[in-house]
Structure 1
Amino acid sequence: MAPLRSWSLALPLGLCALLACGDDGGDGGTTAASATEGSASESASASASASAGSGSASAGETTGGGGSGGTDTGAPEGVIPPILGVPNVDDDDEDGKADWNQVPFASDNDLTTFALPAWYLEGLADGDKVELTLAGEVDQVRLWRGEDVLLGDAGGSTPTTATLSAADAAALELRVEWADFMRGATLTIRHLGSGGSELAVDEVELWSAPMLVNHHLQPAEYVWGVPVQSNGSMINEFKKVLGDRFISISSMDVWIQDELEWALATAPGKRLNIAVDSIRDRPLDAFVKGLKAPDIQPMTWGVKGTQTTEDKFGNLEVTPPHTAGGVAYPHGRIYYGKGATCGPNQILTDHLARQKVQRPIEVNTCWLCVGHVDEYISFVPDPSSPKGFKFLIADVDAAYELLDALPGNTAIPRYGDSHGYATIGELVGDNTLRALNQDIQADYIDPVREQLKAELDLDESDIVRIPGIFERIWGCSYKDNGVAALIPGMLNLVVVNVEDGPLRIFVSDPFMRPNGVDQASDPLIANFKAALPDEYEIHFVDDWYTYHVAIGEVHCGTNVMRTPTGAWWEDSRHLFTQP
């Protein structure tokens, strides 16, 4: 038997055992078919094209072939490197059909071109043959030869073996496409002599990109918000600071974070933006479906009509990159709220877990009326920190320590209007409220802080406790006796770290002050600024009447598209085999 030449993305043979081969691909999401509309989609499309690089040309990116400039994936000399790409789930010709369901066309930039390298062809003699065998998730990949499927999913059949003459092998140019995210296969290439003897065997891995959800350390490209009469001050601050990087959406549905989560699939020279559309299906659903454009694909995981509050995307966030337990997570880890009595739909969570690279963490949010992680947890970049970020978590004890030291007769009219506390003294003097919050701290916040401290290998210097007080929401429509922020949740914030620009965050103004008193005199603002890195340009915005009193804050009312960082095929191979 000829020696095996292979180069692995940390995944040897046995793909099925590791990637649950043979499933029906049902967690691949459903695509939206609406037409593109408005500047939001145009901006997103421009962003995608700018980041995709030369690989977005219609011919696709050449990987491992031709001897004239395939993608440098680090394969040793004399070994064929892996074939990498993004799933072909968008609609590059804008004909209303998913490109996977069509024969390749000129403007389809999501296929990866593969040809046998020059050194391989030099070893072929007249009369030799090359046998190609495809194994693994063969129903999730196709190898096109012209307009015909040579190997993989051909619709009614799935050919897995092809034999070529030496001349045909020399002229071979395949275009490889994938149906879904994080799908793997192996192409075995056998060099057969004229008598049929096996002279050499090469194995090439084929991988489609995982879907990666954005984290706060990635540079921000665009911010979306929904102007209505009551949030004009907040929207105007975003417009003033961000200019044309802020995009206004016309709707009466102001909760844009709940409807949309941006994610990315990348490969050498390729970028696919995924607008993950929640099964919430309120008026902003039409906006998300309208984002559909070349290299931008709205997709949904879940069944319409089965949504819970935890299916909204204030409950889907990502930690910054970190190393914990000796394992590096270069793209961070997804975290969402789930517990015995609450949680997002399993179709979505199974899909997220199958991506491997951002292994999800579940934290308890069942105690919250709305049940979202962004109500009491966040992360911000910190260039001066060894880890590069700070972990922010709400803290009841910090709030009472701060407020107990203030004059009790300080008027706080916003709280009088909305929460029934006209002064700081009335707020801190409510012993029933204090007891409730002490229980929240002990029963829910402290355990989650310790959980994430252990999961992320954090020490105390990495953690910032943000003062927070919660109140019971009687008649909460989502769960009995759930609570929500009484003090505006200042960690429900927006990180806008534009490349080559300042580190900016937009934070809910806590209004712990009398009317007519400026922000500089607000004790909660002073405390927040002192706790955050000096590099930040912090904008405290008025979200009170649109978001805060409706159990949300500034993060709930905005959405951010971000630039991909890192390369999963280089930095995350070790995670493919993690449980």
Structure 2
Amino acid sequence: MQSVIAEDNMTERRTIRLTNTGTMYEVCVVGEEIAIDVYRTVPRRADFFDVRGTTNIDVFMVYNSRAIKKPGKGEKWPIDKGVKVHISPNEPSRHLNDGKVKISYYISQGSDPVSSIVLYVTSVAISLDVDVNRIGFVSRGMKNKDTWTWGPNGRGAILLVNCDRDRNSSGLPDNEDSEGTPNAADVKDMSPMFLTAEGPDEIFDDYRVILEIEPCDSKRLRVYRQGKFQFKHVLGMGKLGYEVQRKNRDEMKFYVEGLQFPDTEFSGLVYVKVKLQRTQDLADIFLETVVFRVAPWIMTPNTQKPMEVYVSNVDTNEYFIKLLKEFVRKSRTTLIVCTENCGDRWMQDEMEFGYTEAPHKRFPVVLDSPRDRGLKDFPQKKVLGPDFGYVTRKANPDEIGSLDAFGNLEVSPPVTVNGKCYPLGRILYGGSLTDPALQMNKTVTDFLKGQQVQSPVQLYSTWLFVGHIDEFMSFVPAADKRGFRLVLASPRVCLDLFREKQKEGFGDAVMFEGVDKDKLTIDEILEDESLKECSQFCQECIDINRQIMKNKLGLIEADIIDIPILYKCDTPKKDAESFFPDMVNMLVLGNHLGIPKPFGPKINGKCCLEEKVQSLLEPLGLTCHFLDDFASYHKYLGEIHCGTNVVRKPFNFKWWHCEP
């Protein structure tokens, strides 16, 4: 079969150089386009040539149609280096040398060839196939498997970090277990990869099939070959090459697992190569590369459906847990009480829940903070398990501070900013906007940035004593087109409310009734210049964050709800703490909000702070539940959100459809 194509900027390809022997033998790979150098052995006086191949070999004549005329019927191709010959086997050989290409040379006046060379071809099908189309199973016969593209029409395979624990050999996640052997449950977390090596068995006595990875990818992936009784580790963790023992099998199955999440120094792309190598001289006659992108770790915002709530059981929060159980029951969510906590009540600070996903599998993954206090062993010992992954970022203990706890880590719902869509939201974390020394640890922020799909934004939080962004902001769902609201703490709104009540004649209404011996009236609060000065400073700091989030999340004023709060400062304009339980620091479970009970002034038997918050939030279709956390959390400089944590349902949106 002979085809004609116009010459273009052809990529470099293998070339077969003809000799004067008259008969040659070559091994070629199905689908591979090979150049034949027909000019190396041109007989004297020959002016023309033609090429013929058997039906299992496609022959292509490549030329510049502007310079060379295509021969008519019965005519030959001119001896002109502007005419090139390419061949490509279209099926694997059933027997040795069952493909044939004949090149014949002619002089101007002769009808019979003055010389002919016969090239016998044995064709083998070599292919490394993966889920290029992202449909959950291996796609066969695809081209351009060495490129990976984002977007809904993107292509390229995806690899999960195998960070759950399905093996029983250690307490480590599977990706850190170097001794255990994968089992049937474990390989479901891995990406299948099929190797085809089809052709006459005899040819593989002289040619070998080899899988290879780059040294830099050795610590990022691991490859197993499926055997009759177990899975054999063949690549990764120091193993850079593997010679495939074909044993008369045309197709072999491998499983690939990711070992590391992306980071700023690791884009997430890893490569596996297959090559056909001639044993005699170790010459590579074929090479194919497939690329995987390691799936990112993804945070879930408050607007996602809650699935499990975690809380620590410590000496002073028995009453709070009783209230929490009732609240969680109303939201139809599961409560998990942690008793092994070494007195550490701050469940939110120790870990952040997210997930990872490939087309064939997804599972939740807990990100363990480097804070390492009483709950330091809980994420790995109690959360890690089958289909529940674990990842952490270690740092020098001397460099870890309050900013590295995960009360200082949040994520927005999906947003669009100046036409740029963030369908998985944007990660938010706190630090100083001016002091390089007051930042979340770089090992954590590098990890967050490296995931690429939730483009992190830094907020200003170091004006607070604890320094966590959950002290002044949160997100709640809303039953409207926008789908959510940003709630911000607001001293301005609180002072305006108290002034309004004072004008209405309720200046003697008392705060903290029943929970604190130091009861204060509205009049006393409004006369406290230090309290007002601190709250004014804090309002200015919150307004800075308000503008950052309007700019970086594409919000308008209608998307923001101001929740009343007052702050106190031991040092002027520094180290602010909430004066009463901080209602922004809430637990969001669907349409149910677990809000710290503020113990505000009662007007006509009702807390005016609670009434204000209800008037702001309940029109959105939300139900406010005010829970007493005064003795169990507020006195320890935290609130309900600080003391709880939530596993939420993953997004329906597929991260590989993003366009970072």
- TM-score, normalised on structure 2? 0.67
Q: 204-213 or 404-413: which moved more?
A: 404-413
Deviations 1:521-565 (A, max 9, x none): 222212212222431122111111111122111101111111211
Query: Could you say which residue in structure 1 is the equivalent of 2:375?
Result: 284
Match of 1:115 among 194, 203, 223: 194
Query: Could you say which residue in structure 1 is the equivalent of 2:563?
Result: 466
The answer to whether residue 221 in structure 2 is matched with residue 141 in structure 1 is yes
Query: Could you say which residue in structure 2 is the equivalent of 1:158?
Result: 240
SS in 1 for 2:183: coil
Distance in 2 (CA, whole Å) between partners of 1:241 and 1:380 is 17
Distance in 2 (CA, whole Å) between partners of 1:278 and 1:158 is 33
Match of 1:95 among 146, 158, 169: 169
The answer to whether residue 343 in structure 2 is matched with residue 258 in structure 1 is no
In the alignment, is the contact (CA less than 8 A) between 2:197 and 2:246 conserved in 1? no
Per the alignment, do residues 164 and 445 of structure 1 end up closer, same or farther by CA in structure 2, a change over 3 Å counting?
same
Query: Could you say which residue in structure 1 is the equivalent of 2:136?
Result: 71
Distance in 2 (CA, whole Å) between partners of 1:191 and 1:383 is 60
Amino acid in the other structure paired with 1:295: D
Distance in 2 (CA, whole Å) between partners of 1:286 and 1:272 is 21
Amino acid in the other structure paired with 1:208: V
Shift of 1:512: 0.9
Match of 2:307 among 214, 217, 221: 221
Q: 398-407 or 531-540: which moved more?
A: 531-540
Amino acid in the other structure paired with 1:280: R
Amino acid in the other structure paired with 1:294: P
Within a 5 Å distance, the mapping from 1:472-491 to structure 2 comes to 472-473=569-570, 481-491=574-584
Distance in 2 (CA, whole Å) between partners of 1:136 and 1:266 is 26
Query: Could you say which residue in structure 2 is the equivalent of 1:404?
Result: 499
In the alignment, is the contact (CA less than 8 A) between 1:73 and 1:82 conserved in 2? no
Deviations 1:258-293 (A, max 9, x none): 122212222223234333233333222243332132
Shift of 1:343: 2.4
Q: RMSD of the TM alignment (CA)?
A: 3.7
The answer for unaligned runs of 5 or more in structure 1 is 6-61, 498-502
Amino acid in the other structure paired with 1:331: L
SS in 2 for 1:461: helix
Within a 5 Å distance, the mapping from 1:178-577 to structure 2 comes to 178-182=258-262, 183-187=268-272, 203-228=289-314, 230-243=316-329, 245-250=334-339, 251=341, 252-291=343-382, 292-303=384-395, 305-306=397-398, 307-339=400-432, 340=435, 341-386=437-482, 388-407=483-502, 408-414=506-512, 418=516, 420=518, 422-442=520-540, 444-473=541-570, 481-497=574-590, 503-514=591-602, 521-532=606-617, 533-572=619-658, 574-575=659-660
Shift of 1:431: 2.1
Amino acid in the other structure paired with 1:524: L
Shift of 1:202: 6.1
Amino acid in the other structure paired with 1:414: F
The answer to whether residue 189 in structure 2 is matched with residue 104 in structure 1 is no
Deviations 1:477-523 (A, max 9, x none): xxx940111132111111112xxxxx2111111111349x76xx222
Per the alignment, do residues 317 and 74 of structure 1 end up closer, same or farther by CA in structure 2, a change over 3 Å counting?
farther
Shift of 1:226: 2.7
Distance in 2 (CA, whole Å) between partners of 1:396 and 1:149 is 60
Distance in 2 (CA, whole Å) between partners of 1:164 and 1:569 is 37
Q: 460-469 or 320-329: which moved more?
A: 320-329
In the alignment, is the contact (CA less than 8 A) between 1:234 and 1:542 conserved in 2? yes
Shift of 1:450: 0.4
Per the alignment, do residues 333 and 167 of structure 1 end up closer, same or farther by CA in structure 2, a change over 3 Å counting?
farther
In the alignment, is the contact (CA less than 8 A) between 1:410 and 1:514 conserved in 2? no
Within a 5 Å distance, the mapping from 1:16-55 to structure 2 comes to none
Query: Could you say which residue in structure 1 is the equivalent of 2:62?
Result: none
Query: Could you say which residue in structure 1 is the equivalent of 2:78?
Result: none
In the alignment, is the contact (CA less than 8 A) between 2:214 and 2:240 conserved in 1? no
Shift of 1:425: 1.0
Distance in 2 (CA, whole Å) between partners of 1:548 and 1:144 is 52
Query: Could you say which residue in structure 2 is the equivalent of 1:15?
Result: none
Q: 483-492 or 196-205: which moved more?
A: 196-205
Shift of 1:324: 1.4
Identity of counterpart residues, as a percentage? 28
Higher relative contact order (CA 8 A, sep 6+): 1
Deviations 1:18-38 (A, max 9, x none): xxxxxxxxxxxxxxxxxxxxx
Per the alignment, do residues 421 and 238 of structure 1 end up closer, same or farther by CA in structure 2, a change over 3 Å counting?
closer
Shift of 1:90: 3.4
SS in 1 for 2:625: strand
SS in 1 for 2:372: coil
Amino acid in the other structure paired with 1:93: R
Distance in 2 (CA, whole Å) between partners of 1:163 and 1:95 is 28
SS in 1 for 2:582: coil
Deviations 1:72-114 (A, max 9, x none): 6999976766332321233312321543314433332422212
Per the alignment, do residues 277 and 568 of structure 1 end up closer, same or farther by CA in structure 2, a change over 3 Å counting?
same
Per the alignment, do residues 198 and 329 of structure 1 end up closer, same or farther by CA in structure 2, a change over 3 Å counting?
farther
Distance in 1 (CA, whole Å) between partners of 2:141 and 2:536 is 59
Shift of 1:63: 5.0
In the alignment, is the contact (CA less than 8 A) between 2:130 and 2:140 conserved in 1? no
Distance in 2 (CA, whole Å) between partners of 1:433 and 1:566 is 46
Amino acid in the other structure paired with 1:64: D
Rg comparison, structure with higher value: 2
Deviations 1:372-391 (A, max 9, x none): 000001111223033x2111
Q: Specify which structure has the higher proportion of helix.
A: 1
Distance in 2 (CA, whole Å) between partners of 1:446 and 1:561 is 30
Shift of 1:223: 0.7
Distance in 2 (CA, whole Å) between partners of 1:326 and 1:190 is 45
Shift of 1:204: 3.1
SS in 1 for 2:397: coil
Distance in 2 (CA, whole Å) between partners of 1:549 and 1:457 is 36
Q: 336-345 or 275-284: which moved more?
A: 275-284
Per the alignment, do residues 204 and 302 of structure 1 end up closer, same or farther by CA in structure 2, a change over 3 Å counting?
same
Shift of 1:416: 9.6
- TM-score, normalised on structure 1? 0.75
